[in-house]
Amino acid sequence: MAYIQQAFDTRFSLQLAPTSFLMRLGRREIFVCRDYRQRAYHVNPVFDCSSGVQAGHLEILFCKKWLIILSKAKW
């Protein structure tokens, strides 16, 4: 079952992002928000993957605007 809730968590320092949400699917979390960070490297214009800000996280940047963070749920 999926649980959808507003993501006002301090884990990613994105608690003030108005267009963000957190979805839990079993033991996994999908966090979606607008990306505001300035990247120091060339970003693929469609789809870019990198390691997350915390261990075990995967960041996917979609169309240079949407940041999708995949992680293990913390219950």
Instruction: Give the domain ranges of the chain.
Output: 2-72
What's the pLDDT band for 75 if we cut at 50, 70, 90? low
Confidence (pLDDT) at 42: 85
Query: pLDDT per residue over 20-73, tens digit each?
Result: 888 898 888 999 988 888 878 888 889 999 887 777 889 999 998 899 999 987
Confidence (pLDDT) at 36: 80
Q: CA–CA distance from 33 to each of 21, 22 (Å)?
A: 7, 9
CA distance 16 to 49: 23
pTM of full prediction above 0.75: no
Confidence (pLDDT) at 8: 41
Four-CA torsion 73, 17, 51, 37, nearest 10 degrees: -170
For the sheet containing 58-62, what is the strand order? Answer: 2-5, 21-25, 28-34, 66-72, 58-62, 47-51
